[in-house]
Amino acid sequence: MFKKVTPKRRPNSDSSSVSGSGSVKRSKTEARLADSQLSSPGTHNSKARVSALLNRPVHIERPETPPLDVGSVSQTLKDKKIEPSGLKFGFLGLGIIGSGIVKNLLNSGHSVMVWNRSSEKCGDFVNAGAKEMMTPSDVIAAADITFSCVSDPQVAKNMVFGNCGVLQEMSADKGYVEMTGIDAETSQDIAEAISGRGGRYLEAQVQGSKVQAEEGTLVILAAGDRTLFDDCQSCFQAMGKNSFYLGEVGNASKMNLVLQVMAGVTLAGLAEGMALADRAGLQQKDVMEIMELTSLACPLMIEKGKAIIEGGFPTHLPLQHMQKDLRLGMLMGDTLELPLPLTAATNEVFKHAKRLGYGEHDVSSVYIRTRF
């Protein structure tokens, strides 16, 4: 058997860091040494060569997310002049997207009951007029229509089928709207369970991230019970700039995954391009300035390009959520027997970035994987 040898790190290898332009700070001597070690394998031992590869920056700590000012009303919301529905609404999940949505529901005059796994997140919303409930089933019992926006398909299922879950209090006079990013099969399973208790079901997938959720400019993709879609119109107006009804359950989930696949592949391309520019000695700010004048310019590329340059990666959309959607998109392709080679490659890049510890950072932190 071969004995595994762990290469020793070179002195000061931990001192490398990521600068504002995304480059690694190290001396010219160290850079020449690393290049020579990698280009001339016959002249240096394997330990030195592996050590050069390991000369990477320490983990970048995720910046703290500023607290949400629940009481602030955006000008966008004011301009909408929404007439709130007289129904009672429940909301399960106060994450990055859910918090922004509930903020706008409250500030547009809707009656909202909230539940979150960690109850301390509910305090500011209660102060703004929401009512906190003890369990998801309590929310269902008190509300006419309940929205759910949690982290992934499994948590969405647990919310419905778990102990003190949604089904316990579901009845013919209740509506349930699933806003979690899920696959069509999970949505159909939930829809069957809700309708089996006489309730109405709607999937309402959202396109957008933290800023759009807080400003009320999300794009909402809905499918399922049309009457429930109509009853949610004042809420959708508060949440977003447009809502689409796409027919039967599953269509909205499929549409969302198609768009997420496009976004993920685009972000990986942006990250690789910025890494290439940096390695080639170009200024990343020049790349962005020029790109903004070309047909490549779009809000996603501009926003994430600037995040890469700044190098902090404050979370607007968690990287692990994008990787989840890429995985679900690939499963959708498998079901339809459609090869998705670019999606598969992109998924591996995001998986690696997640393994490096950047799952809860913004999706733009995929740059770390492409740069190093």
Homologous superfamily assigned to 75-248:
NAD(P)-binding Rossmann-like Domain (3.40.50.720)
Percent of the chain with pLDDT strictly greater than 90 = 81
Task: For residue 369, give every residue at least 6 positions away whose Cβ sits within 8 Å of its Cβ, in sequence order, or none.
Answer: 271, 349, 350, 352, 353, 356, 358
pLDDT score of 27: 46
CATH topology of domain 255-371: N-(1-d-carboxylethyl)-l-norvaline Dehydrogenase; domain 2 (1.10.1040)
Find the mean pLDDT for residues 201-223: 97
pTM to 2 decimals?
0.83
CA distance 233 to 93: 20
What would the DSSP string read from start to end of 266-329?
A: HHHHHHHHHHHHHHTT--HHHHHHHHTTSTT--HHHHHHHHHHHH-----SSBHHHHHHHHHHH
pLDDT score of 47: 55
Domain positions in the chain: 75-248, 255-371
Tens digits of residue pLDDT in 191-207: 999 999 999 999 999 99
pLDDT confidence band for 363 (50 / 70 / 90): very high
User: Is there a contact between 114 and 94 (Cβ–Cβ < 8 Å)?
Assistant: yes
pLDDT score of 36: 46
For residue 339, give both structure tokens. Answer: 């090869």
Find the mean pLDDT for residues 39-48: 49
pLDDT score of 48: 54
Find the mean pLDDT for residues 73-91: 96
User: Is there a contact between 93 and 71 (Cβ–Cβ < 8 Å)?
Assistant: no
User: Is there a contact between 291 and 298 (Cβ–Cβ < 8 Å)?
Assistant: no
Task: Share the mean pLDDT of the chain.
Answer: 88
Tens digits of residue pLDDT in 128-170: 999 999 999 999 999 999 999 999 999 999 999 999 999 999 9
Find the mean pLDDT for residues 113-132: 96
Find the mean pLDDT for residues 292-296: 97
Candidates 291, 235, 298, 227; CA nearest to 266 is 298
285 pLDDT exceeds 90? Answer: yes
Find the mean pLDDT for residues 231-256: 98
Residue, of 54 and 165, whose pLDDT is higher: 165
Tens digits of residue pLDDT in 316-349: 999 999 999 999 999 999 999 999 999 999 999 9
Find the mean pLDDT for residues 81-108: 97
CA distance 140 to 22: 47
User: Is there a contact between 203 and 187 (Cβ–Cβ < 8 Å)?
Assistant: yes
